[in-house]
Structure 1
Amino acid sequence: MYDIETRKRALALVAQGRSVNSVAKQTGISRAAISSWRIRLDPLVRTGEPCPRCRAVPGAPEDPAAYAYLLGLYLGDGCISEHRRGVHCLRIACADTWPGLIDACEAAMRAVRPDNSVSRVQAQGCVSVTSTSKHWPCLFPQHGPGRKHERRILLEGWQQEIVDEHPWEFVRGLIHSDGCRITNWATRVVAGEKRRYEYPRYFFTNVSEDIRRLFTDTLDALGVEWTGCARNGHPYNVSVARRASVGLMDAHVGPKH
Structure 2
Amino acid sequence: MEQHSPSIRAQAVALMRQGVPNRTVAERLNVPRGTVGWWRSEDRRARGETYEQPTDCPRCTGRGFDQVAYSYLLGLYLGDGHIISKRKQHHLSVFCNAMQTGLISAAEDAMRKVMALPSVKQRHKPGCVEVKSYTKHWTCMFPQHGPGKKHERRIVLEPWQQEVVDAHPWEFVRGLIHSDGCRVTNWTTRMVAGERKRYEYPRYFFTNVSEDIRRLCTDTLDKLGIEWTHCTRHGNPYNISVARKASVALMDAHVGAKY
TM-score range, shorter chain: 0.7 to 0.9
Residues 152-163 of structure 1 mapped to structure 2, 5 A cutoff: 152-163=154-165
Aligned partner (choices 200, 203, 227) of residue 205 of structure 2: 203
Q: Which residue number in structure 2 is paired with residue 82 of structure 1?
A: 85
Residues 41-60 of structure 1 mapped to structure 2, 5 A cutoff: 48=54, 51-55=57-61, 58=62
- Between Structure 1 and Structure 2, whose CA radius of gyration is higher? 2
1:110-164 superposed Cα distances (whole Å, 9 cap, x missing partner): 1011111110000111000001112110000000000001111110000000000
Q: Which residue number in structure 2 is paired with residue 234 of structure 1?
A: 236
Q: Which residue number in structure 2 is paired with residue 72 of structure 1?
A: 75
The question of 1:63 aligning with 2:66 is answered yes
| 1:88–1:137 CA contact under 8 A, matched in 2 | no
Q: Which TM-score applies when normalising by structure 1? A: 0.78
| 1:171–1:215 CA contact under 8 A, matched in 2 | yes
Residues 2-17 of structure 1 mapped to structure 2, 5 A cutoff: none
Gaps of 5+ in 2: 1-51
CA distance in 1, matches of 2:205, 2:69: 22
Residues 40-189 of structure 1 mapped to structure 2, 5 A cutoff: 48=54, 51-55=57-61, 58=62, 62-85=65-88, 88-189=90-191
Q: Which TM-score applies when normalising by structure 2? A: 0.77
Helix, strand or coil at the partner of 2:59: helix
| 1:79–1:90 CA contact under 8 A, matched in 2 | yes
Q: Which residue number in structure 1 is paired with residue 20 of structure 2?
A: none
CA distance in 1, matches of 2:173, 2:53: 35
Q: CA deviation at 1:109?
A: 0.5
Aligned partner (choices 204, 212, 217) of residue 215 of structure 1: 217
Gaps of 5+ in 1: 1-45
**Aligned residues between the structures:** 208
User: Structure 2: which amino acid aligns with 1:64?
Assistant: Q
Q: How big is the alpha-carbon RMSD for the aligned residues of Structure 1 and Structure 2?
A: 1.4
Q: Give % identity.
A: 66
| 1:228–1:239 CA contact under 8 A, matched in 2 | yes
CA distance in 2, matches of 1:216, 1:169: 14
Q: Which residue number in structure 2 is paired with residue 30 of structure 1?
A: none
CA distance 1:133–1:196, shift in 2 (3 Å): same
Question: After the TM superposition, which segments of 4 or more aligned residues of structure 1 sit over 6 Å from their partners?
Answer: none
